[in-house]
A and B are shown apart, each in its own frame.
Chain A
Amino acid sequence: MTATSSTSAGRVYDRGYRRYDGPRGGRWAAVRALFLGSVRRALGLRRSWKQKVLPWLLLAVAAAPAAVFVGVGYVTRDTPAAEFEFITYRDYVGVSTALLLFVAVTAPDLICPERRQRVLPLIFSRPLTGRDYVLAKAGAVFAVVFAFGFLPQALLFVGQMLVSDAALTYLRENAEVLWQAPLSVAVLAAFLALLGTAIASLATRRMVAAAALLGLFLVSSSVSGVLVAGGDSSAAALVNVISLPLFVRDLVFLGHIGDDTPLGGLNGGGALAIACYLAVTGACVAVLLVRYRWAER
């Protein structure tokens, strides 16, 4: 250690370069670090309060229906309103557009600046591959969307259980929800995460990516709406991109496509829905892998 300067108040040392001989993780440690960093960024952690507002506001919006239903159920537990019914867990999976907005904001925020500000060469100079990057980024969006989708479901379930006359009976009678709800939310979260990150990977500006994603939702649902306007069941309902995970959700909860959907009653509708879901998610994975094949250029 060399003293480089001193004053009456103290002394400044040039400690020089020091070696590191502590533990080192490998590739998975890098993936985990990138995943956790992306989750923190998505939630606005270690960022200014402005960046914290949106994610937590959207979580509040997503959870609000559950809180309201549980609250009403609690207040009227002794004098139940005749027409009051709790929202079903199936309906809750797709009830809020907050998740769509969240993905449209978050996925571009995790992907676009790193491309626009040319951070990727720094990231890929670490022990990571393009596939690792895709896994960490899409995984982070999935994890946060899943949490935002599942927490309200958990709130609804616990609330209903506590408000019911016999909590254990409620739990026993609704035990299948314990796997149906998380699986359905996972189906939705995986779809949104892959679609969001894939579209974001094609743009360098966040606004462009967000607009493209929301535009896709809007245009596909409008086109689908026009095509199935007659009211009969039609495979044209599959054109609506955002309905694809909800059709799969129906298969999880009901074992068939819900009759209240434009695909309900169509022969082979379930298989078609799964095929379209897999085709879209597969295409998204392919886009992402091609965009980040850094090590093979």
Chain B
Amino acid sequence: MLRTEHLRKAYGSTVAIDDLSVDIPSGRVGLVGANGAGKTTLFRLFLGLARPTAGSVEVGGRRVAEDPVGIRARIGYMPEHDCLPLDQSAADVVATLGELAGLPARAARQRASDMLDLVGLDEARFRAVGTYSTGMRQRTKLAQALVADPEVVLLDEPTSGLDPSGRDEMLDLVARLGADEMSVLMSTHLLADVQRACDHVVMLDAGRLVVAGGTEDLLDTTGTILVEVDGPSEALVAALTGRGLACAVSGGRVEVTAPDADAGLDAIRDEVSELGLPLNSLATRLTSLDEVFVQRAPR
């Protein structure tokens, strides 16, 4: 759905994006990186609001540089910062932005109503945005991004400033959107948000790609197997060490480092069987995305 090739964006001597080549698939994708990692710049490049210093950007197979205005008609965008006119109601704001995206006035009004329903703004939609809480403003921003039914929606830190329950609701909304034939690219610096709401993840650090892939795939790559047996585990540790596997005991469980997960599992199964130990659990340890980021980001 979204693609960059050797993309570079520099503002003077500051490099925001550096040789970024990534293929972002359809579905729910998390764009992760610390502040200043280049997430917002990447969004601006997808929207055609910034020109690449080098390389190319594609949306839906079309090069953004060739038709940035046409591309913007296919994208919904939710900025991170406050961006709503405070003296207008959410209903007016969303309908107006729907019209600006090309919807006829009547359809824009109807879509605005539907989208504000979807994000949970009911009667409050007729109040001035200036009277809204942070959560209500975030919802309004999400509604305006969806009002023109875009093919892909770019959400820049949608959970920013939300309390825990607001964050849960926003992530639920994002997860539901991705299930509705719409592609969602959500930027965040909270890996837990991606782990919860996204199928794929793209990690950036200082404008460079750290890793990209399926969330579950990345979580499978720890190389650690957790074994829990009934009884003392010293004999098992000794046997596995003898096979060249590094072991550590933590919290009553044996953590086995196995570069080849399948071979490691086979070895553990065989040793447990030979030692006659009752096996309580045997599982590949799933790492968190935080750990993936820490492991792969350049020092």
Contact = CB atoms under 8 A, between A and B. Distances in A.
B50 A114 contact: no
Given A24-B73, A117-B82, A296-B51, A33 B107 contact: no
Contacts of B105: 33
Contact of A119 (B49, B50, B85, B117): B85
B197 interface: no
B96 interface: yes
A214 B44 CA distance: 37
B84 A117 contact: yes
B104 A295 contact: no
Contacts of B107: 20, 22-23
A29 B102 contact: yes
Interface string A126-141: 1111000000000000
B72 A19 contact: no
B100 interface: yes
B85 A114 contact: yes
Interface string B59-84: 00000000011101101110101111
Range of interface residues on chain A? 35 or more
B104 to A, nearest CB: 6
A26 to B, nearest CB: 6
B176 A25 contact: no
A125 to B, nearest CB: 4
Contacts of B111: 20
Contact of B97 (A122, A295, A296): A122
Nearest to B43: A125
A33 B100 CA distance: 6
A122 B49 contact: no
Contact of B181 (A19, A114, A119): A19
B243 to A, nearest CB: 53
A128 B84 contact: no
A71 interface: no
Contacts of B69: 27, 127-129, 295
A99 B180 CA distance: 51
A121 B79 contact: yes
A11 interface: no
B122 to A, nearest CB: 11
* A contacts with B: majority SS: loop
Interface in A6-37: 15-20, 22-27, 29-30, 33-34, 37
A128 B148 CA distance: 14
Contacts of B96: 33, 37
Contacts of B101: 24, 30, 126-127
A124 interface: yes
A295 B83 contact: no
B291 interface: no
Nearest to A29: B102
Contacts of A47: 87
A56 interface: no
Residue picked from A20, A47, A296, most chain B C-beta under 10 Å: A20
Nearest to B106: A22
Contacts of A126: 72-73, 97, 100-102
Nearest to B70: A127
Nearest to A113: B85
Contact of B102 (A30, A114, A297): A30
Contact of B75 (A121, A125, A294): A125
B99 interface: yes
B118 A124 contact: no
Nearest to B129: A117
A172 interface: no
B47 A125 contact: yes
A117 B50 CA distance: 21
A16 B77 CA distance: 20
Contacts of A34: 100
Nearest to A128: B100
B87 A15 contact: no
Given A15-B114, A18-B114, A122 B144 contact: yes
Contacts of A114: 85
Contact of A17 (B75, B81, B177): B177
Nearest to B181: A19
A241 B188 CA distance: 51
Interface of B: 47-51, 68-70, 72-73, 75-77, 79, 81-87, 92, 96-97, 99-105, 107, 111, 114, 117-118, 144, 146, 148-149, 176-177, 180-182
23 contacts: A15-B118, A16-B176, A17-B118, A17-B182, A24-B73, A24-B102, A25-B102, A25-B104, A26-B73, A27-B69, A118-B81, A121-B77, A121-B83, A122-B83, A123-B97, A124-B47, A125-B49, A125-B77, A126-B73, A127-B73, A128-B69, A295-B49, A296-B51
Interface of A: 15-20, 22-27, 29-30, 33-34, 37, 46-47, 113-114, 117-119, 121-129, 294-297
Nearest first, the 5 A-B pairs at minimum CB distance are: A33-B99, A20-B149, A125-B77, A126-B100, A127-B73
